[in-house]
Amino acid sequence: MRASRQLIAAFASLLAVVSTGAQAQAQAGEWVSYRDAYRAMVQFEKYGGPKNLLQSQLQVQSRDHAGLGEGAQLTLTGKATQLNLTLDALGRTVFPLQKAAYDENAALVLNRKGMPFVLRPQVTIAPRADGQYDAADLRTACAQALGFVRYVDASQRARQCAGVRFVFPKKEQAGARLRHADGGEQGLPVTSGAAFSGDPDEGFPVVTWRFATGPDKGQVITYNAPLAIVPIFE
């Protein structure tokens, strides 16, 4: 029993030392393991299904849903790695898949002290430079996104593509119009909402185009480049 007590005492001492180290780490900033993020983000790369109309990004969300604020930046930091990852207005960045960062067990650190955060993979439809989206392409892109979602989550197999959501920057004139196959055009209503379900900021200009009510042929033309084109599954 004496040996057991010594063992427990030694472990308690180690616990105290590591706890002190943890407090110092917390003061330096919140972090997420690069390896853990890599596991999530590399799935899109490994996915063998059609995905040419899609893009994958890493989104940072504050855990308390307070929003990240202006100037938020994620830094990939390790012994030999230092890479700043600028976040867009939706808190997203392109995730760098780096063997060197993986091997040195790097961390992703947010420049917001005391703000716990989570990372989420977000697969969206890639925006086009000309801002013109064929209805058929949007359906195909949504189907591609659904294919990927079903690949990573078996419980999503019953869901279907319902439409797409164009999310625009707040400070620009936002909107889109529908050009019918006969050349006629009609404006699409702009509402206010969140880019992704669960996002705390519900103030982005949003144009939602539903496949069930939209024509099979035609084009959606955006006035400005959207921040994101989000597939809608129901």
Partner 1 sequence: MNKLLFLALSAACGTTWAQTPATNPMPDGSRDMYVGLGVQSAPRWDGTGSRKVSALPVLQVQWSNGLFISGMSAGMHLTDSPTFEYGPLVAVQPGRDRTGTGLEFDGVGSAGTTLIGPVPEPIDKRNLRGTGLDGMNKIGARLQGGVFANYYLTPQWRLTSSVLYGAGNDHDGARLDLGVQRLAFELGSQHRVSVSAGVSIVNRNYNQTYFGVSLEEAARSRFSSYEAGGGLQEAHVGVRWNWAVSPSWMLTSNLQAKGLLGNAAKSPLVERSTNMTVSTAFAYRF
Q: What does the binding site for partner 1 look like in residue numbers (CB under 8 A)?
A: 1, 3-4, 7-8, 11, 14-15, 18-19, 21-22, 25, 30-31, 33-40, 42-43, 46, 63, 97-99, 102-103, 105-107, 116-121, 151-155
In angstroms, the CA 193 to CA 195 distance is 7
In angstroms, the CA 137 to CA 144 distance is 10
Identify any residues that bridge with 110 across adjacent strands, giving them in sequence order.
74
Cβ 142 to partner 1 shortest distance, Å: 20
Backbone angles phi, psi at 4, to 5 degrees: -65, -45
Cβ 26 to partner 1 shortest distance, Å: 9
105/191 with CB nearer partner 1: 105
In angstroms, the CA 59 to CA 201 distance is 14
Cβ 192 to partner 1 shortest distance, Å: 28
15/94 with CB nearer partner 1: 15
Closest to 74 in 3D by CA, of 63, 65, 64, 61: 61
Query: Please, what sign has the CA dihedral across residues 24, 27, 30, 31?
Result: negative
Cβ 1 to partner 1 shortest distance, Å: 6
41/232 with CB nearer partner 1: 41
30/220 with CB nearer partner 1: 30
39/217 with CB nearer partner 1: 39
How do beta strands 82-86 and 73-77 pair? antiparallel
Cβ 72 to partner 1 shortest distance, Å: 16
Identify any residues that bridge with 48 across adjacent strands, giving them in sequence order.
none
Helix (H) or strand (E) holding 222: strand 219-222
**Which amino acid is it at 228?**
A
